[in-house]
Structures are given as C-alpha cells and as structure tokens.
Amino acid sequence: MMQFKQSPVIFDEDSHSYQLDGKRLLGITGLIHSILGLGVYPDASEHVKDFIIPRAGSRGTAVHHAIQTYDQLGIKQTTQIVHTRYGCRERDNISYVDETWDVSSELEAYIRHLNGFKPLANELTVSDNVRYASQIDNVWQYEKTGGIWLVDTKTNNIKLYPLCGYYNANYFNSGEDALKEYLSWQLSIYAELFEAENPGLKVEGLACNWLKADADAFWVIERKPSELVQELLKTTYFFSDNGPVYFHPDLSMFGIGSTLPAEVKEQTPIVAPDVVDYFTRLLKTYKDAEAKLEEAKTALRAAMTEHKVKSFDFGTFSATIGADSVSTSFDTKTFKKDHPELYKKYASSKAKKGSFTIKLKDND
C-alpha cells in the first residue's frame, strides 16, 4: 500500500476547523468563495442559509461517511446518522438534530465509478502549514497506469447551483459548468498541497464523483496552472467579528476585471468586495464614534468646569482637565534658511517608517 505523509494539522469535524500548534488555519472553501467569487449563494434567504443548506450538507456528510466505510472496511453501511447543526449564532437560533439518511443509491453509484481504480486514502489532510489546510475526500490509484488521482465527492443540486463566478452574477451557462470550475480550483489546490507534502509523488488526474439519489456522474476535472494556484495560496486573511476577511493585492491575475483599461488596473488594484465592505463598515463606525466622543467630551468638560472638578475617576475611565499653558514653537524652516551651516551642525537624521493612511471618502 502506498504511504502518504500524515499532516500534523488537527481537523475538528464538529466545527470543521483546522489547527496547527495552537494556531487556527482555514479551509479553502472560503478562499475560493471570497477571492474568486465561485460557489456563492448571494441571494439565499436566512431560512435557506440556516436550514436548507445545512440539511443538504448533512446528507452530503452521510454520503462521505458511507464511502469511507466502504473503502476502508468493504461494508455497505447505507443508513447513516449525522449530528446536524441548524441555525446561526448571530441570529441565536442554533439547534442540533440527529438526521438519519438512506444513501444506498449514492453508494452504489460510487462503487460503479470506482471501477478501474483502487482506493488508497480517505479524508487525507493536506496543508501549507502556514495559512490553509483541507481534507481530500479520496486518493485513488488508476490501475492501468499506477498514477495517483485526487477525487472529490459532491452532492450539490446543480439545477440550483449559483451561476456566479469571478464577480460576474451570470458568468456560467449552467450549474454543472459552475461547479466544475469550482472543482478545478479546489482539486488543483489539493494537488499542489499534496505534491508539496509528498515529494516525488505526482498527481496524474483530478476527478469528481457527483452523487444524487436519482442521478450521478463521474467528471474528469482540469488542473489549473501551478503558478496561479500558488498565487491564490498567498492570499492572506485576518479574523473579524463576522468571520475571516481575505486579502489579495490584485485579483486581475485570476482574470477578474480583465476588461478594465490597463491604466485603471494600475491605479486601482482589484480586491475582493468583502475586504472593501469590512473596512468601510469599520471606518464608518469609527467616524460616527469619534464624532459622538468629541461631543460627549465637550459636554463632560463643561460639566466638570462648572462644578470646579479638575479630575474624576469614573471607575472604568477617568477624566482630567489640564492646566492652561502657553506653548512655544521653533520655526525650523526659517532658521534653516537664515543659518544653513548652523542648522546642518545641529540637525540629525534617522530612518522613519512611511505612514499608512486609510480614509473614508466624503461621499460614503
């Protein structure tokens, strides 16, 4: 049996999160959604997000578990119970239900697709050990060539799959085309990480088992150029109150906004909208809070002055009125002009880091 590197990254299935040495790493789903605009359901209602999508995901989990049991034990365990979370923390409506699923049709289709291949691993964790980690559903070996194939299992309803891509609401003509493009990036990332963690092993092919109770397909998926995948994996992120915010300095290298004139692209790098939205919200909040704070400070100072209170401890904060004073300034510019040699004698220079300015435009 071919052996693969066991990643040190720890995967928590309940929270679907990754950790390495106490540091949280992110999966690649959010990366593809945010940076490439693929697979995003922009018009989904709260009910769909909180209940319909989690229920569909629960069945998908059942299919994955049945496949893993079959590959590892040779047992057709077609009834699966999945502990499913519904609701949303922000809306305070989270609940858990043990859903029971019959996935016999999906498992039989998987077994047909497996013909000519040998399963080598299930749910294999791969990572760059810096930012991203993910689990490969299946690692197969093609019996004719001995080559390694990375295979993902999807249970999406392609009739309802979003047609958006690269920040164009109707980029694709069909849900199948949209899902295949998403898979191309997903599996290409897997291949890049797999090969980096297993030097000497090359991925021969990428594929998808699309499995529904009443339909199925086996798709061979095109691999993206390595340099583009590596560039995508350079995307940084930070955590906000609303989840991770991803940042890449210029999305045009992925074909996003490629119709813009060159001079416009040079002046305005194309970044993911969620980055812009996040900073806009922060700046507006800061601007409003700053104005309210100045107004409150003026009123508090007036009240303290009226009652002849110079300093007061409010428990969580303190307020102090400083004594009036006269400041003296030195006109460096005039002195340098009138006494250049003397200025040079006493002046000293030191390196200073350039400033960083972020400003909300007045029309916002």
Which residues of the chain are modeled with pLDDT < 50? 258-270, 364
Dihedral sign from CA coordinates of 109, 114, 119, 125: negative
For residue 356, give the 3-state DSSP assignment: coil
pLDDT digits (tens, 9 = 90+) for 341-361: 998 888 888 888 888 888 888
pTM of the full structure? 0.77
Residues 250-286 as b or e (16 or more Cβ within 10 Å = b): ebeebebbeeeeeeeeeeeebbbebbeebbeeeeeee
Instruction: State the CATH class of domain 10-248.
Output: alpha beta
pLDDT digits (tens, 9 = 90+) for 202-254: 999 999 999 999 999 999 999 999 999 999 999 998 888 778 888 888 888 88
Q: Hey, how many other C-beta atoms are within 10 angstroms of the C-beta on 15?
A: 9
Parse the chain into domains and list their residue ranges: 10-248, 272-364
Predicted pLDDT at 43: 74
Q: Which two tokens stand for residue 253?
A: 């290298």
Predicted pLDDT at 267: 40
| Helices and strands counted in the chain (H then E) | 10, 14
Predicted pLDDT at 363: 64
* 18 bridge partner residues: 11, 25
Predicted pLDDT at 132: 97
Give, in order, the Cα–Cα distances in Å from 132 to each of 23, 77, 154, 185, 326: 11, 32, 21, 14, 57
